[in-house]
Amino acid sequence: MNPELIDQLSGQLGPNGLPYTIPIHPNLVHLTLGLFIVAIAFDVVGVLFPLERPVFKLLAIPAARSNFFDVGWYNMLASAIVTFFTVAAGFYEIMLAQPAATGASAWGLEAMETMLWHGVGGVVLLAMIVGMTVWRGFQRFAWRKDRAQQVQWSYLIVGLLIFGIMFIHGTLGAQLAAEFGVHNTADMLLQEGQDPNALLR
């Protein structure tokens, strides 16, 4: 974003370029990723249940197959709801980002390219998570309502592919934080030639 436009808010922004000290987006990311990955993981556990039955028995943990599919559904639903807020917070914070215009990430991308890919990727992932939730809902409530195995293999495979996209996308986000220092108080103070050790005590 044009620095002069960001200056319109300058009275409200702290040394990290935000009106608050801790960015919100990376915290909502914990919820999006944790819920999505565990949803797929428990559907896999549900599908492979016949193999696991002796293990749960050995550990004396009562386990019913349908409960694993419940986790797969509710966690996916929660991930879809949370991710609207994750993306909204992400766009708010990316519009206020002012990374240094020099240097490239470990993947050879400069700050602007990294921000653009991370922004577009966020919307794509939101669409995928919502799509997966709808797909999961059809399996649960219509197509496979009376089946012991509630999910299709194709759903799980697409889920695993999305893990891959999440890894790439998450690494771009991590590079914005830990390489370009976006919204990072100590990094931005150092960029201005100030001493975080003295100012952050």
Helices marked H in 98-184 — which ranges? 111-138, 153-178
Amino acid at 48: L
Question: Is 184 among the residues that bind other proteins (CB under 8 A)?
Answer: yes
Stretch of residues binding other proteins (CB under 8 A), selected from 117-125, 135-143, 157-165, 172-180: 172-180
Smallest gap from residue 178 Cβ to other proteins (A) = 4
Contacting other proteins within 114-133 (CB under 8 A): none
Contact between 47 and 71 (Cβ < 8 Å):
no
Question: Is 55 among the residues that bind other proteins (CB under 8 A)?
Answer: no
CA distance 18 to 22: 8
Q: What is the 3-state secondary structure (H, E, C) of 75-98?
A: HHHHHHHHHHHHHHHHHHHHHCCC
Smallest gap from residue 99 Cβ to other proteins (A) = 11
Question: Is 58 among the residues that bind other proteins (CB under 8 A)?
Answer: no
Name which of 5 and 64 has its Cβ closer to other proteins: 64
Token match 């966020």: residue? 122
Stretch of residues binding other proteins (CB under 8 A), selected from 66-74, 108-116, 136-144, 152-160: 66-74
CA distance 37 to 122: 16
Question: Is 75 among the residues that bind other proteins (CB under 8 A)?
Answer: yes
| Torsion 7-9-12-17 (CA) sign | negative
Question: Is 99 among the residues that bind other proteins (CB under 8 A)?
Answer: no
CA distance 173 to 125: 13
Residue numbers at the binding site for other proteins (CB under 8 A)? 16, 21-23, 26-27, 29-31, 33-35, 37-38, 41-42, 61-62, 64, 67-68, 70-71, 74-75, 78, 106, 170-171, 174-175, 177-179, 181, 183-187, 190-191, 195-198, 200-201
